[in-house]
Chain A
Amino acid sequence: MKLPDKNGRFGKFGGRFVPETVIPALLELEKAYLSAKKDKKFQKELNYYLCEYAGRPSPLYFAQRLTKTIGGAKIYLKREDLLHTGAHKINNTLGQVMLARKMGKKRIIAETGAGQHGVATATVASMFGLECEVFMGTDDIHRQSLNVFKMKLLGTKVTPVTSGSKTLKDATNQAIRDWVTNVGTTHYVIGSVVGPHPYPMMVRDFQTVIGKETRKQILRIEKKLPNYIVACVGGGSNSIGIFYPFIPDQKVSLIGVEAAGFGIKTGKHAVTLGKGTIGALHGSMSYLLQDNNGQIKIAHSISAGLDYPGVGPEHSFLKKTGRAEYYSITDKEALEGFKLLCRTEGIIPALESAHAIAYVKKLAPKLKKNEIIIICLSGRGDKDANTVAEALGVKL
């Protein structure tokens, strides 16, 4: 059976845990999305922008020196970092903003953590001439000042969020509050496979282009499917995007890498699937970092894009069914992964993606030389230059 079901459930995960005010808008969005999905003209237009504007298809690159340096399995990189705006986020924002136009919405809002989704939303809103406002926690504004400046250049209003964690969690709360207020005129572009139904399904579908291309590319290059696919998981959109077309291929291991921050034992981490428990946050039932009283905990990661105490409901489902496995990488290990890719391949990865690289550094040596690992290189690292410099004790 295709998931989610008509109630937006992936098994017991998902659903629509939001105020009544936005339920009619969610039903309308679901209807509009399902109709656009079947609409050849819409799909053709989306494909046009994905190719001519965003730069798809993205290459599947054999990382020869990285493979040689780590030793073991062959490592390929799916180069989402080469897309316009520097990450996979644009796949989703193009789809959602086009859908918003189709629904006659004049205003776009979004939440952002690392700022990649904010920039991607601001970019597409500018291209289509729509008003755009992005909510961002003040901690993230500080560590991602470059992306804040970019959004402003693109004509977007960046609204600082000072409540709670001052990061992605509270930026999302504030975006939902705005949507509840302006639901008639505004479309809320959620940046990951989280939120109430139909978002987890819709964002997944828009990101599935990553996996579809990867499948074709690896079959063309290697004449066989990979043994492992490894991707980082915050909310989980790049990972679902690359995993999804491979889910029926039972021999392909799907591995999600969460952020262990200062280390799981310190309690300062974002290992939602590995250490969380089930609950409802931001509109869906999924694993969460929460205390015994059901209060949401503050996550920690050096990477703003993974610094989130929730996770997409479909990942919770994939974990529960065992189809995907989830591991975690600390801030320190991610920094090593970051440096490793810089020095071996001349590619500066996003700190998010560096978590996947760091995990592969542990995995590849255990595998045979004819085995294949594909890493989803979800974004590029320019935005992280300040954070990395600070972590390495370098003054810019």
Chain B
Amino acid sequence: MKRIEQVFFNLVKTNKTAFIPFITAGDPTIDTTRKLVFAFEEAGADIIELGIPFSDPLADGHTIQQASERALKNGVSLRNVIELVSDIREKSSVPIVLMGYYNPIFKYGVSNFVRDSIKAGVDGIIVPDLPPEEAMPIYDETKNSSLAVIFLAAPTSTDDRIKLIGRMTKGFIYYVSLTGVTGARGMLPRTIKRNVSRIKSLTSKPVSVGFGISTPQQAKEVASYADGVIVGSAIVKLIEQNLNKPDPLDKVTAYVKQMVNATKEEN
């Protein structure tokens, strides 16, 4: 069984929810990202998402835009991100999913990207600006391979589209909790629970929820009905705030640990 599937298979048996932290690769350096991946694994993260920096991140709010800019300033490219995964794989088998916009992947060459990602040990890829209709090249390229293309569903997705997304996605469905861009929100929309159960009635794939989640209370709430909880901006913000402090990793890791616990609490 592939690593992402294994995660959800194991969690279902114990009735637990996956915690999936996101950080932008190379923010502020590739070395920091490598250390954070190991620390997050240690803290109990089930899957780790690494953002591929892009100049025009139109689905991202201010926090992740800034992270992308910091990484790009250091010259971090898609190639560097793939190499980083390859490097991590020498020590760790934590499932790693890349998340990035289509243009850098297109420019790299879809088939080169798939080949190199598999070779490096990448488990999945999420492309926020690639809806199912435009995804055939990467979908075909990853057929019968170990690389999962993970599709996103949104509050605006119709039942027919959710069925299409459910058929095409591998590993899990990424449910975008709100109509909007990434970024921590004080209040999450009340529609999440209803939409997650709608998705579950229409597909058989695990559903992970992301966008807006930042507090342990929110994580616990979402974990009570979803298969996975994804948190990005809140972690990235902590990285930003601790850039120049001694031991910046400790604060970030402590937060991830707290979120893991909230997600895994018995409901």
Which residue numbers of A lie inside 8 Å of B, CB to CB?
7, 15-25, 163-164, 169-170, 173, 176-177, 180-184, 277-283, 288, 290, 292-296
Bound: A184/B189 CA distance, A: 14
Contact B58 A176 (CB under 8 A): yes
Question: Quick one: given A169-B56, A180-B179, are A296 and B103 in contact (CB under 8 Å)?
Answer: yes
Q: A126: shortest Cβ distance to chain B, in Å?
A: 27
Per-residue interface assignment for chain B, residues 131 to 160, with 1 indicating a CB less than 8 Å from any chain A CB and 0 otherwise: 101100000000000000001111111100
Q: B45: shortest Cβ distance to chain A, in Å?
A: 25
B83 CB–A CB distance under 8 Å: no
Q: Which residues of A contact B59 (CB under 8 A)?
A: 19, 177, 180
Bound: A181/B130 CA distance, A: 18
Contact B58 A294 (CB under 8 A): no
B79 CB–A CB distance under 8 Å: yes
B216 CB–A CB distance under 8 Å: no
Contact B165 A183 (CB under 8 A): no
Bound: A293/B68 CA distance, A: 14
Bound: A163/B129 CA distance, A: 20
Q: Which of B99-138 contact A (CB under 8 A)?
A: 102-108, 128-131, 133-134
Per-residue interface assignment for chain B, residues 151 to 179, with 1 indicating a CB less than 8 Å from any chain A CB and 0 otherwise: 11111111001000100000000001001
Q: Which residues of A contact B128 (CB under 8 A)?
A: 19
Contact B131 A16 (CB under 8 A): yes
Contact A24 B78 (CB under 8 A): no
7 contacts between A and B (CB under 8 A): A21-B154, A180-B59, A278-B106, A279-B106, A290-B107, A294-B106, A296-B103
Q: Which 4 A-B pairs have the closest CB atoms?
A: A294-B107, A294-B104, A21-B154, A181-B180
Contact B133 A16 (CB under 8 A): yes
With a 10 A CB-CB cut-off, give which of B79, B102, B129 has the most chain A CB atoms: B129
Question: Quick one: given A7-B133, A19-B128, A20-B165, are A293 and B152 in contact (CB under 8 Å)?
Answer: no
Bound: A7/B129 CA distance, A: 16
B224 CB–A CB distance under 8 Å: no
Question: Quick one: given A16-B134, A177-B58, A279-B107, are A21 and B79 in contact (CB under 8 Å)?
Answer: no
Bound: A90/B123 CA distance, A: 49
Contact A173 B58 (CB under 8 A): yes
- A164 interface neighbour in B55, B156, B180, Cβ under 8 Å: B55
Contact A296 B55 (CB under 8 A): yes
- A294 interface neighbour in B103, B130, B153, Cβ under 8 Å: B103
Chain B's closest residue to A173 (CB) is B58
- B179 interface neighbour in A21, A163, A282, Cβ under 8 Å: A21
Chain A's closest residue to B153 (CB) is A20
Contact A17 B102 (CB under 8 A): yes
Q: Which residues of A contact B157 (CB under 8 A)?
A: 20, 23-24
Size of the B side of the interface (Cβ < 8 Å), in residues, is 40
Q: Which residues of A contact B153 (CB under 8 A)?
A: 20
Contact B105 A163 (CB under 8 A): no
Question: Quick one: given A20-B157, A24-B156, A177-B181, are A282 and B106 in contact (CB under 8 Å)?
Answer: no
Bound: A74/B226 CA distance, A: 70
Bound: A292/B77 CA distance, A: 9
Contact A20 B161 (CB under 8 A): yes
Q: B101: shortest Cβ distance to chain A, in Å?
A: 8
Contact A180 B180 (CB under 8 A): yes
Contact A292 B107 (CB under 8 A): yes
- A181 interface neighbour in B54, B55, B104, B179, Cβ under 8 Å: B179
B65 CB–A CB distance under 8 Å: yes
Q: B218: shortest Cβ distance to chain A, in Å?
A: 19
B207 CB–A CB distance under 8 Å: no
Contact B129 A18 (CB under 8 A): yes
Chain A's closest residue to B156 (CB) is A24
Bound: A277/B108 CA distance, A: 13
Chain A's closest residue to B178 (CB) is A181
Q: Which residues of B contact A292 (CB under 8 A)?
A: 107
Seed contacts A15-B133, A293-B104; 18 additional CB < 8 Å A-B pairs: A16-B131, A17-B131, A17-B134, A19-B129, A20-B131, A20-B153, A20-B154, A23-B157, A24-B157, A164-B55, A177-B59, A180-B179, A181-B180, A279-B107, A290-B107, A292-B107, A294-B103, A295-B72
Contact B129 A17 (CB under 8 A): yes
Chain B's closest residue to A183 (CB) is B179
Bound: A294/B104 CA distance, A: 4
Chain B's closest residue to A22 (CB) is B156
Q: Which residues of B contact A184 (CB under 8 A)?
A: 156, 179
Q: Which residues of B contact A295 (CB under 8 A)?
A: 54-55, 72, 104
Bound: A193/B39 CA distance, A: 47
Contact B179 A294 (CB under 8 A): no
Q: Which residues of A contact B103 (CB under 8 A)?
A: 279-281, 288, 290, 294, 296
Bound: A294/B79 CA distance, A: 11
Chain B's closest residue to A277 (CB) is B107
Chain A's closest residue to B152 (CB) is A20
With a 10 A CB-CB cut-off, give which of B56, B156, B176 has the most chain A CB atoms: B56
Q: Which residues of A contact B129 (CB under 8 A)?
A: 17-19, 280, 283
Q: Which residues of B contact A22 (CB under 8 A)?
A: 156
Q: Which residues of A contact B55 (CB under 8 A)?
A: 164, 295-296
Question: Quick one: given A164-B56, A173-B56, A295-B72, are A19 and B152 in contact (CB under 8 Å)?
Answer: yes
Bound: A177/B103 CA distance, A: 18
Chain B's closest residue to A28 (CB) is B156
Q: Which residues of B contact A294 (CB under 8 A)?
A: 54, 78, 103-108
- B176 interface neighbour in A17, A21, A170, A280, Cβ under 8 Å: A21
